[in-house]
Chains A and B, each alone.
Chain A
Amino acid sequence: MCLVDMDIGLRNLDILMGLENRVVYNLVDVVEERCKLRQALVKDKRMPNLSLLPAAQTRDKTAVNADQMKKLCEELKSMFDFVLVDSPAGIESGFQNAIAGAEEAIVITTPEMSAVRDADRIIGLLEAQKDQITQYRLVLNRLRPKMVANSDMMGVEDVLEILSVKLLGVVPEDEEIIISTNKGEPVSGTDNTRSGLAFRNIARRLRGEEVPFMDLDVKNDTWVTRIVNFFNPVRV
């Protein structure tokens, strides 16, 4: 599995994965043939099958074009089972380059109005590339179940209905993410966090497994579930 950081100029994935000290070459070096693709790939500390292709930090989005990205993705596809491209924010060239070699897309949004509007725009652009991008699914990030229960925030169903999109996963808001990021250990590798479980469920769904969605409904927070939770803190 390979992660590609396409946010050229604003490199971040290396920090989140705790690999910032191991970056020697980057995506732009590969495209401009200053190094071989294998030389630029950084192996993850914990998972030997996971590699990162870091973005360049000192260049900008114009350093690569769509054809170069297509070629790069083809090469990566021949080396890995999964290639995940992290697109930069926005709908300009950075985004167009990020989707140039993609077969599927994951749209990530939070249940806030401005984020949902942006997601809708992205979905519209993905729909226009239907021949190339055969499916797209939604990850709803930073959901606050208590606020949803109090009708202070849109819930999963609300966002799905507005965007008319298939759901890939829901990640609850979790302070553990800040803690694990600070340690350089992705939360998906932690055993007893709800966000970690949510990310692992998403990974399993991407592999084609049927994984039921976590029950994040606070209305189901009763004395019975609390007792069950006490013995099984993450599952319920």
Chain B
Amino acid sequence: MQILDWLFKVPTGPAPGTAAVTAKDRMRNMLTHDRLELPAGKLEVLEEELTAVVARYFDLEPDTTRFDLKQIDRKAALIANFQLVRSKC
């Protein structure tokens, strides 16, 4: 069977959890912090504060708020996603 596997190799992307994928994820996160000169843990504080502000105006769907620090070229973008239930105003 090994010979057959070798003959009919199907190209696949790297599986999650492999060393390469872990390295890439760690690199992305680390370089975003490096480039912004952002100390570890500060982002979490900001996320908490942002959530608290939005929660003053809206009821939020529990456990759905998400923050992503994305890389666009060599710049960073903070993308926040709040699922709003209803206005509190």
A residues with a Cβ closer than 8 A to B are: 113, 116-117, 120-121, 123-124, 127, 148, 150-155, 158, 161-164, 219, 221-223
Give the distance to chain A from B41, nearest Cβ to Cβ, in Å: 19
Is the beta-carbon distance between B7 and A120 smaller than 8 angstroms?
no
The complex places the Cα of A124 from the Cα of B73 at a distance, in Å, of: 13
The complex places the Cα of A222 from the Cα of B8 at a distance, in Å, of: 8
B residues with a Cβ closer than 8 A to A are: 6-7, 9, 11, 14-15, 18-21, 23-24, 26-28, 30-31, 34-35, 71, 73-74
The complex places the Cα of A108 from the Cα of B24 at a distance, in Å, of: 18
Is the beta-carbon distance between B9 and A152 smaller than 8 angstroms?
no
B-side interface mostly:
helix
Contacts of A127 in B (CB 8 A): 74
Is the beta-carbon distance between B19 and A151 smaller than 8 angstroms?
yes
Give the distance to chain B from A159, nearest Cβ to Cβ, in Å: 9
Name the one of B24, B31, B73 contacting A120, with C-beta atoms under 8 angstroms: B31
Contacts of A222 in B (CB 8 A): 6-7, 9
Name the one of A151, A155, A164 contacting B71, with C-beta atoms under 8 angstroms: A164
Contacts of B71 in A (CB 8 A): 162, 164
New A-B pairs, 12, CB < 8 Å, besides A151-B19, A152-B20, A162-B31: A116-B31, A117-B30, A120-B34, A151-B14, A151-B21, A152-B19, A153-B23, A154-B23, A154-B27, A155-B20, A162-B71, A222-B6
The complex places the Cα of A181 from the Cα of B73 at a distance, in Å, of: 37
Is the beta-carbon distance between A154 and B7 smaller than 8 angstroms?
no
Return 12 A-B CB contacts under 8 Å, by A number: A113-B23, A117-B31, A127-B74, A151-B14, A154-B20, A154-B27, A155-B20, A158-B24, A162-B71, A164-B71, A164-B74, A222-B9
The complex places the Cα of A163 from the Cα of B28 at a distance, in Å, of: 9
Give the distance to chain A from B34, nearest Cβ to Cβ, in Å: 7
Is the beta-carbon distance between A120 and B26 smaller than 8 angstroms?
no
The complex places the Cα of A153 from the Cα of B30 at a distance, in Å, of: 17
Contacts of B21 in A (CB 8 A): 151
Give the distance to chain A from B4, nearest Cβ to Cβ, in Å: 12
